[in-house]
Amino acid sequence: MVFIPKRRKKKLFGALRRHLGEVFRELAQHKESAVVEGHLMPDHVHICLSIPPKYAVSNVVGYIKGKSAITIARRFGGRTRNFTGEVFWARGYFVSTVGLDEAMVRAYIRNQEAEDERYDQMKLGV
């Protein structure tokens, strides 16, 4: 699963970045799911989730995005009451199922930041 902050702003760093991993794991457990692999980039999130068949993927993703936005607003935005958190994550997400390629997907998520840096260095050398 991949999703981004609104307007793809580079907001995922520092204390927020450290806090989000814990938040995503806790919210996944509420839906009897588990974060298998995850990595936060400055401008997007990659998560490999194990979701039981009784839950729709859209239900779990919507729950995680919505509740995490509320948590972010309360903890880092100074908002405490009557806030829906609708201003942090952009609408939509990308999701794909993983079967036999799970190890490859997990490695991609784990190594994506280094791969992006390598790609950026290649562009600078041209």
Candidate list 55, 63, 93, 108, residue with the active-site label: 108
Angle at 66 between CA 90 and CA 44, to 5 degrees: 40
**Active site annotation includes 63:** no
Catalytic residues: 108
